[in-house]
Amino acid sequence: MNTPSLVGESGYVAQDFPTLFLPDRLWKLVFDNETVFTPYISHVLSSSGARQALSCMATGTSPSMKNLSIEEMGNLPVPLPALDEQKLIAAYLDRETARIDALIAAKERMLALLEEKRAALISRVVTCGLDPNVPLKPSGQEWLGEIPAHWKLERLKFHLLNIEQGWSPQCDSYPAEPDEWGVLKVGAVNSWTFNALENKRLPNDVEPLCEYEIKPRDVLMSRANTAQLLGSVVYPESVFA
């Protein structure tokens, strides 16, 4: 059982995990080693075509959660070349996907550096302005340092009209569909990024409180989180609707 996009998802366990055991919503598929090379069939099952076929086989009354039966999964036709060719294909895919994964890792490192540059840019401009030659004065605040001499320093509360804490009812464990109500999870606000898909579906028998609806140009702040993410702020220019 899972969301339509994840039901039928599979993975190949390449090493031993002696302290982990199988949950009831995962299957362990054991293949005949005389006819099937397991890494090959894992690639087959994770291909986009197989994923789409398995998703179409899934059933369930909820549009958000689907089930895949053992019978339907077992009836999936799969391409099965000779064992030696399966091994060659698996080795090729392992090699090429590893190369692509390395490129992705390099891109992620670059994105991390750009994120640091973004943070430094924001910090510099909001504390010193756009003119690099402007006269500065001590702000008296350690986190601010110096600010332009013509700027004022005022407490945030004097300019706040309202602060809303929100509402956290008992929700389903999966995200809401676009036409359903969902309650944001803390992870929706993370390092200047707003992820509307980080939510839990509001059950049909629970009436939504529309006064807490997220709207464009709301400013959201994490009030309870890890030390690193506490106080994270995002400005959603558009929302999941």
Encoding tokens for residue 98?
């590893």
Q: At residue 49, does pLDDT exceed 60?
A: yes
Q: What pLDDT digit, counting tens, does each position of 96-113 carry?
A: 999 999 999 999 999 999
Structure confidence at residue 8 (pLDDT): 64
Residue 142 CB coordination number (10 Å): 6
Task: Give me the mean pLDDT over the 143-151 stretch.
Answer: 93
- Distance between CA atoms of 213 and 240, rounded to whole angstroms? 11
| CA end-to-end distance (rounded Å), the chain | 25
Q: What pLDDT digit, counting tens, does each position of 59-75 carry?
A: 776 666 677 788 888 88
Encoding tokens for residue 114?
């750009």
Contact in structure between 40 and 86 (CB atoms under 8 Å): yes
Residue 224: C-alpha distances to residues 165, 189, 190 (Å): 11, 11, 12
Q: Which amino acid, one-letter code, is at 209? A: L
Q: pTM score > 0.75 for this model?
A: no
- Distance between CA atoms of 166 and 186, rounded to whole angstroms? 12
Structure confidence at residue 241 (pLDDT): 45
Structure confidence at residue 4 (pLDDT): 57
Contact in structure between 212 and 167 (CB atoms under 8 Å): yes
Structure confidence at residue 58 (pLDDT): 78
57 alpha carbon, distance to own chain's centre: 26
* Segment of 133-137, 172-176, 218-222 carrying the highest mean pLDDT: 133-137
Q: At residue 2, does pLDDT exceed 80?
A: no
* Segment of 66-75, 78-87, 165-174 carrying the highest mean pLDDT: 78-87
DSSP labels, the chain: -B-TTTTT------S--TT----TT-------TTT--HHHHHHHHTSHHHHHHHHHH-B-SSSS-BB--HHHHHT-------HHHHHHHHHHHHHHHHHHHHHHHHHHHHHHHHHHHHHHHHHHHHHH-S-TT--EEE-S-TTT-EEETT-----GGGG-------------SSPPPTTS-EEE-GGGEETTEE-TTSEEEPPTTS---GGG---TT--EE-SSS-TTTTT-EE--SS---
Q: At residue 23, does pLDDT exceed 50?
A: yes
231 pLDDT band, cuts 50/70/90, is: confident
Q: At residue 160, does pLDDT exceed 60?
A: yes
Helix 38-45 × helix 48-57 angle, to 10°: 70
Q: At residue 57, does pLDDT exceed 60?
A: yes
Task: Give me the mean pLDDT over the 16-42 stretch.
Answer: 87
Structure confidence at residue 238 (pLDDT): 56
More confident residue, 36 or 48: 36
Structure confidence at residue 202 (pLDDT): 92
Contact in structure between 183 and 169 (CB atoms under 8 Å): yes
Structure confidence at residue 64 (pLDDT): 62
